[in-house]
Structure 1
Amino acid sequence: MRRRVVGFAGLAAFVGVGVAAVLGRPASEPVDVLPTVVGGLVAAGALAVQLRFSRTTTATDAARPRLVNRRQFLVTTGAVAAVAAGTGAGGVVLGRTNAVGDRSRAGVRLPAPADPAPVRPAGVETGTTGVSRFVTANRDFYRVDTALTVPQIDARTWRLTVRGDVDRPATYTLDDLLRRPLRERDITLNCVSNEVGGPYVGTARWLGVPLAPLLREAGVRAGADQLVSRSTDGMTIGTPLDAVFDGRDAMLVVGMNGEPLPLEHGFPVRLLVPGLYGYVGACKWLKELEVTRFDAFDAYWVKRGWSARAPVKAASRIDTPKPLMPVAPGPVQVAGVAWAQRRGISAVEVSVDSGQWQPARLADGPSPDTWRQWAYRWDATPGLHTIRVRATDGRGAVQPEARADTFPDGATGWHTISVTVPG
């Protein structure tokens, strides 16, 4: 009896987690939980049959080789086979869906940019081992979203609609966008959920359609102040319209580091607005742009208490040495990256054991919209040491010391690590 209760309780908990995960998606509807519930019911039936079969064993049966009742055997194995078949069919369907996305992406040919990225200075990297490269490889670029599975989109049938408070609504195919003059830029993107010293930040060379001219063609009406982007999986992101029209490189991105957008990073088209956290300026798997007002619509994360306007805060990170890592006595390179999109980084300083702040050597920065590497030579002595870093942005504002959580508009504070130097 106890085994039966435990078995069904575990199964119910498993199904409950699945239902919660499905309903947590932005575009979920009650009907979306049916596959999870049906799978749970089938599994429960198989478990019930198995438990009933196990109870037919008597004390006498236990003393001799077990002879399985043929009917019970067929029922049990049939139920298990049904579950396996359902799971296998789901895997086949998912595999075919993935193949559609991969084939579609493989067929996209990106034109050369009409406005190529400026040539990177020779000194964009300090040459320090262990520091994040200036350009983050696509395979290493962070991914933060609510999609349980990566949306698979056929670029041939994909459409982007521009509507709302505009005089001339429009619909675009991917080919329409690729025929427009494309812009290429190095831009650092980071997630608002990135904690102090966290990994959710990276820099890529993006290729895309400048957004401001496209919206001007649509005729944005007076009074509109928000651009709502919608993804194919139902995510909504609200971007301040003034961030689109103030001269920054806001784009509808089609390429990343010289290739079509990877599926997990928004293929075929994503939004990218430099200087804003991703949840207000970087919608992936884009399908619609709606011009509206902040007082008329709250985007997905704003409904959950996050700030509607979220400019990126200055931040710095120590990449090497790693926290609690043993460090040999003598010269040690303390190094990392710092960023403050739209303002740039003008200085980075390092303090050891709460001592005076010392200037770090800065790598060249090709744009205020990219991070900068930095390095500091520290003469390590035996003992346990604390190392802190802080940055100053291009407007002279020093990164604040006070620690703040990521909620509701991004973390603040100095990244601090401890290292041990053997005696």
Structure 2
Amino acid sequence: MSVPAWAGGLVGLVSGGVALGVAQLVAGVVGPAAFPVVAVGDAAVDAAPAPLKDFAIAAFGENDKAVLVGGVLVVLAVVAALIGVLARRRLSLGFAGFAVFGVVGLLAVLTRPDTGVLDLLPTVVGTLAGAWALRSLLRRATTFTPALAPAYDRAPQPAMVPGASVDDEDARLEEGPEDEPERPAVMRAGGWVPEFDRRRLLTGVAGGVVVAGAATWLGREFGGRQAVDAARTSVALPKPATPAKPLPAGVDFKLPGLSSFVTPNKDFYRVDTAIVVPQVDPDDWTLRIHGLVDRPVELTYADLLGRPLTEADVTLTCVSNDVGGPYVGNARWLGVRMADVLREAGLRSDADMLLSTSADGFTCGTPVDVIMDGRDALFAIAMNGEALPVDHGFPVRQVVPGLYGYVSATKWVVDIKVTRFDEDEAYWTPRGWAAKGPIKTQSRIDIPGYGDRLKAGRTTIAGVAWAQHTGVDAVEVRVDSGQWRVAKLAEVPGPDTWRQWSIDWDATPGEHAIQVRATDAAGRTQTDQLAPPAPDGATGWHTVTVQVS
């Protein structure tokens, strides 16, 4: 076949796009987790060693899942183009390439929790659609024209039958001339010559791009985001039976560049294992509580909204946050106290762990004694006065003051097994993280930022400090390893939130290193010993270097 390599690569690329678009469309009906790219990404996350996960979070932050999916798509694009290059010579090689990708996708889907037969459909249908597109585009790329040709080196060829497939003609053309007897050097009419048809190829490619794009868009629409968003915006939040106290005056210094006391929902950090954010219809949501309880409980969303609600200001922190890192935020949450529901279920005396499960299969292990000690641990339904954003767990998530999120803050929670730490493990524990994750006292410099250039004279150093469910009692700052100076503290409504601090500094020309440390209400000052986030939270003093002129 006379199709050039670049055209074969383009055909493969577009065929791969059609395969993924059709798979996305079918997954929109079956369920987004059945989309093979997502399944492969989820399997990669599960199989990746802990150091690689730590690197991804450190390097890409909240975009680590997007980078992973993007990487999978880049690999697929490169290999699809290679398949197209090979298929222009022998179509069976192209079909074999798509078959291999189909098998990889099916194996990845089968590794996901609660996989059913229907979950295999997106991969199967997408693979077949890609193979069909590959064959169709290669046919469009080649036309056969009659021509006079010297016949001294080949036996007479049968005419190309109108409507015959390109691969049939390929098989005929692949018979080598060395197998035929030499003929006299005469001119013969009536032969058919394969020629590359650029225009027909490009019109076919345009059609393939339209099919791939439309299928992808429809799949995402069918995936239910719009429906869930509509359900979320229609939620009428009940008034809390136990409202939070009004924020005290002086809770926020309102300095430019300083993190506000309340983190807006759109700015709140997001760290989780979900490649695709679960779209959970509140009308279909239930929470099952079982295991070491006397009376198993199952709640609907309406049940939860009908119970007495508690409002609380709570700061959440991710265990993967480096010293001075961004994975911390403060919000006002509304929900049902977890302890009340667990008492109704009748906790058995030997229970010491809650193994909670998210709608996407993620599990989290939370110490029972922390939930039951009187703090505002909530099955939260709202955040900063509105129903939970979908990215942050709509319709229901857990919020537990004093524990890192990986052992407490399950989003899209649907199941809680009351169990024991010596009998069950949550997602992160076998991956090298501690089974229990109490938050360590930390402080951060927000202004000035690392590497900032300042003018000599009076300037303000400010930031936030946190020691959830203990409270911050003091913050100290020093410059160039000099004397520690006590910073001014903002007011706080209680021990479960971060606390702003600030101090004035007479900056002199030169390069300066600024450090901060906090002391909690129990008298514990954060250590200067640097430690990475794994296995139970980073330690050390946050340091920024600035230039003053």
Q: Tell me whether the two structures share a fold, i.e. TM-score over 0.5.
A: yes
Aligned to 1:314: 441
- Provide closer, same or farther for how the CA distance between residues 339 and 67 of structure 1 changes in structure 2, counting only shifts above 3 A: closer
Greater helix share, 1 or 2? 2
Alignment of 1:135-214 (within 5 A): 135-214=262-341
The AA in structure 2 aligned to 1:133 is S
Cα deviation, residue 393, structure 1: 0.8
Q: Is 1:28 the equivalent of 2:112?
A: yes
Q: Provide the residue aligned with 1:62 in structure 2.
A: none
Match of residue 235 from structure 2: 108
Q: Which amino acid aligns with 2:515?
A: R
Whole-angstrom CA distance in 2 between matches of 1:289 and 1:173:
14
- How far off is 1:17 after superposition? 7.0
Query: Which residue of 2 is the match for residue 383 of structure 1?
Result: 510
**In 1, Cα distance between the equivalents of 2:39 and 2:281?**
28
- Deviates most, 369-378 or 143-152: 143-152
Cα offset for 1:74? 7.2
Which amino acid in the other structure matches residue 193 of structure 1? S
Q: How does 1:251-262 map to 2 (within 5 A)?
A: 251-262=378-389
**Structure with bigger RCO (C-alpha 8 Å, 6+ apart):** 1
Aligned to 2:490: 363
**Structure 1 155/9 Cα, relative in aligned 2: closer, same or farther at 3 Å?**
closer
Q: Which residue of 2 aligns with 1:346?
A: 473
2:304 alignment partner, SS class: helix
Unaligned runs of 5+ in 2: 21-35, 47-110, 146-194
Write the distance in 1 (CA, Å) between the matches of 2:282 and 2:41. 28
Kindly tell me: are residues 80 and 44 of structure 1, through their superposed partners in 2, closer, same or farther at Cα, counting changes over 3 Å? Answer: farther
CA contact (8 A) 2:140 2:201 kept: yes
Measure the CA separation in 2 of the matches of 1:346 and 1:251: 25
Q: Could you say if the C-alpha distance between residues 44 and 132 of structure 1 is closer, same or farther in structure 2, counting changes exceeding 3 Å? A: farther
Which segment drifts farther, 82-91 or 384-393? 82-91
Q: Does 1:415 align with 2:524?
A: no
Amino acid at match of 2:386: E
Pair 1:286-2:413 in alignment = yes
Shift of 1:129: 2.3
Letter in 2 for 1:93: F
In the alignment, what sits opposite 2:190?
Answer: none
Match of 1:393 in 2: 520
CA distance 1:128–1:81, change in 2 (3 Å): closer
Structure 1 residues 162, 73: CA separation in 2 closer, same or farther (over 3 Å shift)?
A: same
Per-residue CA shift, 1:305-324, capped at 9, x if unaligned? 21110000000000001110
Aligned match of 1:86? 215
CA offsets 1:351-397 (integer angstroms, 9 cap, x no match): 10111111111111221111110001110011111111111111111
Do the aligned partners of residues 79 and 128 (structure 1) sit closer, same or farther apart at CA in structure 2, a change above 3 Å counting? closer
Alignment counterpart, residue 234 of structure 1, candidates 361, 365, 389: 361
Deviations 1:321-350 (A, max 9, x none): 111011111011000000001111111111
What are the ranges of 5 or more consecutive residues in structure 1 without an aligned counterpart? 59-65
Aligned residue among 363, 374, 381 for 2:501: 374
Counterpart residue identity of residue 536, structure 2: D
1:250 matched residue in structure 2: 377
Is contact 1:352-1:387 (8 Å) kept?
yes
State TM-score, norm by structure 2.
0.69
Q: Label 1:213 to 1:73 Cα distance change in 2 as closer, same or farther (>3 A).
A: closer
- Distance apart, 1:72 and its partner CA: 6.1
* Cα contact 1:104–1:153 (8 A) shared by 2: no
Percent identity reads 52
The structure-2 alpha-carbon separation of the partners of 1:48 and 1:297, relative to structure 1 and needing over 3 Å to count, comes to: same
CA contact (8 A) 2:447 2:463 kept: yes
CA contact (8 A) 2:439 2:468 kept: yes
Q: CA deviation at 1:205?
A: 0.7
Would the aligned equivalents of 1:306 and 1:408 in 2 still touch at CA under 8 Å?
Answer: yes
Larger Rg over CA atoms: 2
Secondary structure at 2:436's aligned position in 1? coil
Alpha-carbon distance between aligned partners in 2 of 1:41 and 1:283, rounded to the nearest angstrom: 38
Q: CA RMSD in A?
A: 3.1
Amino acid at match of 1:365: V
How far does residue 23 in structure 1 lie from its aligned partner after superposition?
Answer: 2.2
Q: What amino acid sits opposite 2:221 in the alignment?
A: V
Is contact 2:339–2:377 with CA below 8 Å preserved after alignment?
yes
Query: Against the structure 1 CA distance between its residues 387 and 45, is the aligned structure 2 distance closer, same or farther, given a 3 Å change threshold?
Result: farther
> Could you report, residue by residue, the CA deviation over 1:96-116 in whole angstroms, capped at 9, with x for unpaired residues?
x11111121122111111111
Q: Is the 8 A contact 1:126 1:363 kept in 2?
A: yes
In structure 2, distance between residues paired with 1:5 and 1:381? 65
Superposition deviation, residue 152 in structure 1? 1.6
Distance 1:47 1:275, change over 3 A: same
TM-score by length of 1: 0.88
Q: Tell me the SS of whatever aligns to 1:237.
A: strand
Aligned mates of 1:77, 1:140 — CA distance in 2? 39
SS across alignment from 1:279: helix
Question: Aligned to 1:208, what secondary structure does the other structure show?
Answer: strand
Q: CA deviation at 1:50?
A: 5.3
Q: Name the CA distance, whole Å, in 2 between partners of 1:37 and 1:5.
A: 23
Report how far residue 151 of structure 1 moved.
Answer: 1.6
Letter in 2 for 1:298: E
Q: What are the Cα deviations for residues 194-242 of structure 1, in whole angstroms up to 9, with x where unaligned?
A: 1111111011111111111211111111211101111111111110000
